[in-house]
Amino acid sequence: MVGLAGLSFGELATEAQMSKSGLFAHYRSKENLQLAVLEYAQERFYIQVISPALKKKRGVPRIRALVANWVKWEDGAAGGCVFLAASVDFDDRPGVVRDYLWKAQKEWLDFLSKSARLAAEAGDFRREIDTAQFAYELYSIMLGYAHYKRLLGDRKAGQRQKAALERLLAQYSK
Amino acid sequence: MVGLAGLSFGELATEAQMSKSGLFAHYRSKENLQLAVLEYAQERFYIQVISPALKKKRGVPRIRALVANWVKWEDGAAGGCVFLAASVDFDDRPGVVRDYLWKAQKEWLDFLSKSARLAAEAGDFRREIDTAQFAYELYSIMLGYAHYKRLLGDRKAGQRQKAALERLLAQYSK
DNA sequence: GACCGGCACGAACGATCGTGCTATTATTCT
DNA sequence: AGAATAATAGCACGATCGTTCGTGCCGGTC
């Protein structure tokens, strides 16, 4: 199986060379296991994507770094970005997992919004821009990238994503 | 369960008030059942989204109609658009289902490309545009819409999608 | 040496999964 | 009417699922 919902103790135990029950004892429920996976993924996302971008100058340079790291994250994730897959799996399955996902995605989008605001304050972007709209469009471009790359296996996915980003940045810049 | 991969004969039989084996006899395998679902969905998609848009004038009016119908399709689909969910589920599960999905999505993207070309020929868009790039960006906007609407439950999703579309159209227009 | 909490184990549970086989019932054709 | 054909049901299979239970091992504390 694949994805967060398809994760099973049996399969995971085999891979970890442990007994199913021994592994289960650690997490006490499948929900807890799923949450642990998401927590770990979020930590990795911060380390790989956000943290290195914070070293860049505020504004467009930082946004470019975020996107570049984000692309690397998508490319590196075996089985696809866990947040994307889990979002589709859990979007109509209420529970703590969906709540966690919701919060994580919201924080990330707020971060993107803030990055756009900083870009406006730094003079890279126009001042009257809608920062949440920028976050939506940037996020959409990355959704498109993941889709093109994973399902379609399109070798031009990176090129398309780059072109879309340039178009987006140009339109929000002075 | 949810999604095309989570579809089961047992659940479906209960819902259809049939025996599991009776239902199974119709499709002879789960793969065939999934294919049948996709074929049906594609037919519905044509009827609800593509066909009515073909009655509109070539160019931007037709593109606007396509998007409007597409939004309605996303909104109307209980459990989300089956193509989106299935894409995530099957993108690394080789087989006839993935092949079918791949072909369907490719056809749809080609159709969007062609619509952009027609818009250029009609004088709505600039002539030197990259029509496949337009398809990518339009598709991305809709992926963003589905994501915002379904996982985030964002009431502004429609508004964001509209704004992104206007921005996109403006940039490809003369 | 007795006792303890934390870990990991094997076994088993009820449920559901996809998929076969074998009847039985409906429908259609001669 | 009877024969042929299709549709549905019944039942069972091996597998896997999440979960529970009882048990043993191992390091530290009294």
Per-residue pLDDT at B78 exceeds 90: no
Summarize pLDDT for B28-62 with one digit per residue, the tens. 999 999 999 999 999 999 999 999 999 999 999 99
Which protein residues have any CB–strand C distance under 7 A?
Answer: A 18-23, 25-26; B 1, 7-11, 20-21, 24-25, 28-31
The string of DSSP codes covering B83-151 is HHHHHHHHTTS-SHHHHHHHHHHHHHHHHHHHHHHHHHHTTSB-TT--HHHHHHHHHHHHHHHHHIIII
- Partner-chain residue, chosen from B89, B143, B152, that has the shortest CB–CB distance to A102: B152
Nearest CA in chain B to A157: B136
In a domain, residue A112? The reply is yes
Per-residue pLDDT at B2 exceeds 90: no
Listed by number, the residues of chain A in 17-36 with a beta carbon closer than 8 Å to a beta carbon of chain B are none
Summarize pLDDT for A69-97 with one digit per residue, the tens. 999 999 998 888 999 999 999 998 999 99
Question: If you average pLDDT over every residue of chain A, what do you get?
Answer: 96
Q: Which residues of B touch A151 (CB under 8 A)?
A: 87, 90-91, 98, 101-102, 105
Per-residue pLDDT of chain A (174 residues; tens, 9 = 90+): 789 999 999 999 999 999 999 999 999 999 999 999 999 999 999 999 999 999 999 999 999 999 999 999 999 988 889 999 999 999 989 999 999 999 999 999 999 999 999 999 999 999 999 999 999 999 999 999 999 999 999 999 999 999 999 999 999 997
Summarize pLDDT for A52-64 with one digit per residue, the tens. 999 999 999 999 9
Share of chain B above pLDDT 70, in %: 99
Per-residue pLDDT band for B6 (boundaries 50, 70, 90) equals very high
Residue B172 and residue B129 in contact, taking contact as beta carbons nearer than 8 Å = yes
Calculate Rg over the CA atoms of chain A: 18
Residue A137 and residue B141 in contact, taking contact as beta carbons nearer than 8 Å = yes
In a domain, residue A70? The reply is yes
In a domain, residue A82? The reply is yes
The Cα B172–Cα B127 span in angstroms is 9
In a domain, residue A21? The reply is no
In a domain, residue A23? The reply is no
In a domain, residue A4? The reply is no
Q: Find the Å distance, CA of residue B20 to C1' of nucleotide C21.
A: 14
In a domain, residue B87? The reply is yes
In a domain, residue A12? The reply is no
Q: Which residues of A touch B106 (CB under 8 A)?
A: 152
Give the pLDDT of residue B79: 83
Residue A106 domain boundaries: 31-172
How many structural domains does chain A have?
1
Give the pLDDT of residue A70: 98
Residue nearest to nucleotide C16 (CA to C1'): B10
Q: Specify the DSSP element, H or E, that contains B50.
A: none
Measure in Å the smallest separation between the Cα of B48 and chain A Cα atoms.
23
Supply the CATH number for residue B61's domain: 1.10.357.10
Give the pLDDT of residue B69: 98
Residue B142's nearest CA partner among B71, B54, B51 is B71
The Cα B30–Cα A66 span in angstroms is 42
